[in-house]
Amino acid sequence: MGHVIRYGVCLLLAMLCYLVGQAEDGSRLWLRYTKVADREAALRKIHCSLRDPVANTAVQELQHYWRKGDVALVLDKKWPKYQPDGYRIRSVAGKTIIRAGSSTGLLYGAYHLLRLQQIGNEVTQLDIVETPSYHLRMLNHWDNLDGTVERGYAGYSLWKWDELPAIKSPRYVEYARANASIGINAVVLNNVNASPLILRQDYIEKVKVLADSFRPYGIRVFLSINFSAPAILGNLPDSDPLNPAVARWWKDKADAIYKVIPDFGGFLVKANSEGQPGPQDYGRTHADGANMLAAALKPHKGLVLWRAFVYNPSAEDRAKQAYQEFVPLDGKFEDNVILQIKNGPIDFQPREPFNPLFGAMPNTSQMVEFQITQEYLGFSNHLVYLAPLFKETLDAETYTRKEASTVAGLTQKGPNPRLSAIAGVANIGEDRNWCGHHFAQANWYAFGRLAWNSGLSSDSVAREWLASTFSPDMTLIAPLSKVMLESREAAVNYMMPLGLHHIFAFEHHYGPEPWGDIPGGRPDWMPWYYHNADSLGIGFDRTASGSNAVAQYHSPLKEQFAALSSCPEKYLLWFHHVPWNYSMKNGRSLWDNLCYAYQEGVDQVRYVQRVWDGLEHKVDAERFKDVQAKLKIQAKDAVWWRDACLLYFQTYSKRPIPPTLEQPVHRLDELKKIKLNLKHHN
Cβ proximity to ligand BDP, 73 vs 346, nearer residue: 346
Residue of this chain nearest to ligand BDP (CB atom) = 347
Cβ proximity to ligand BDP, 140 vs 213, nearer residue: 140
252 CB contacts (<8 Å, ≥6 apart)?
none
- The interaxial angle of helices 458-469 and 474-495, nearest 10 deg, is 120
Q: Per rule CB under 6 A, is residue 309 in the interface with ligand BDP?
A: yes
Q: Per rule CB under 6 A, is residue 347 in the interface with ligand BDP?
A: yes
- The interaxial angle of helices 286-297 and 244-260, nearest 10 deg, is 40
Site for ligand BDP in 503-542 (CB under 6 A): none
C-beta neighbour count of 567 within 10 angstroms: 23
Name the CA dihedral angle for 510, 317, 572, 351, rounded to a multiple of 10 degrees.
Answer: -40
Shortest Å, Cβ 292 to ligand BDP: 21
Is residue 375 annotated as part of the catalytic site, yes or no? yes
Cβ proximity to ligand BDP, 193 vs 532, nearer residue: 193
Cβ proximity to ligand BDP, 303 vs 310, nearer residue: 310
Q: What are phi and psi of 232, to 5 degrees?
A: -75, -45
The residue within the footprint of ligand BDP, chosen from 28, 88, 135, 151 (CB under 6 A), is: 151
Cβ proximity to ligand BDP, 220 vs 509, nearer residue: 509
User: 171: phi > 0 → left, psi -120 to 50 → alpha, else beta; which?
Assistant: alpha
Is residue 464 annotated as part of the catalytic site, yes or no? no
CB 244 within 8 A of CB 204: no
* Proportion of the chain in helix, strand, coil states, percent, rounded to 5: 45, 10, 45
Question: Pick the catalytic residue: 130, 347, 352, 541?
Answer: 347
Cβ proximity to ligand BDP, 180 vs 526, nearer residue: 526
Site for ligand BDP in 563-622 (CB under 6 A): none
Q: Per rule CB under 6 A, is residue 88 in the interface with ligand BDP?
A: no
> What CA–CA distances, in Å, run from 623 to 19, 378, 471, 614, 616?
16, 19, 13, 14, 10
Give the C-alpha separation, 47 to 149, whole Å: 42
Cβ proximity to ligand BDP, 339 vs 657, nearer residue: 339
Length of the chain: 682
Site for ligand BDP in 92-131 (CB under 6 A): none
Give the C-alpha separation, 676 to 449, whole Å: 35
Shortest Å, Cβ 389 to ligand BDP: 15
Q: Per rule CB under 6 A, is residue 501 in the interface with ligand BDP?
A: no
Shortest Å, Cβ 373 to ligand BDP: 10
Q: What is the 3-state secondary structure (H, E, C) of 72-91?
A: EEEECCCCCCCCCCCEEEEE
Cβ proximity to ligand BDP, 399 vs 525, nearer residue: 525
Question: Pick the catalytic residue: 40, 162, 205, 274?
Answer: 274
DSSP state of 543: S
Is residue 347 annotated as part of the catalytic site, yes or no? yes
Cβ proximity to ligand BDP, 281 vs 626, nearer residue: 281
Shortest Å, Cβ 347 to ligand BDP: 5
Site for ligand BDP in 357-376 (CB under 6 A): 375
> What CA–CA distances, in Å, run from 576 to 353, 514, 540, 542, 550?
13, 18, 5, 6, 10
Q: CA angle 331-336-341, nearest 5°? A: 70
500 CB contacts (<8 Å, ≥6 apart)?
530, 531, 538, 539, 573, 574, 645
Name the CA dihedral angle for 671, 625, 427, 132, rounded to a multiple of 10 degrees.
Answer: -130
Shortest Å, Cβ 372 to ligand BDP: 13
Site for ligand BDP in 192-221 (CB under 6 A): 192-193
Question: Pick the catalytic residue: 85, 143, 240, 375?
Answer: 375
Q: Per rule CB under 6 A, is residue 379 in the interface with ligand BDP?
A: no
Shortest Å, Cβ 302 to ligand BDP: 22
Q: Per rule CB under 6 A, is residue 150 in the interface with ligand BDP?
A: yes
Q: What is the 3-state secondary structure (H, E, C) of 195-260?
A: CHHHHCHHHHHHHHHHHHHHHHHCCEEEEEECCCHHHHCCCCCCCCCCCHHHHHHHHHHHHHHHHH
Shortest Å, Cβ 679 to ligand BDP: 12
Site for ligand BDP in 176-195 (CB under 6 A): 192-193
Site for ligand BDP in 242-301 (CB under 6 A): 270, 274
Q: Per rule CB under 6 A, is residue 348 in the interface with ligand BDP?
A: yes
# residues contacting ligand BDP (CB under 6 A): 10
Q: Which residue ranges make up the site for ligand BDP (CB under 6 A)?
A: 150-151, 192-193, 270, 274, 309, 347-348, 375
Residues annotated as catalytic (active site), given as ranges: 274, 347, 375
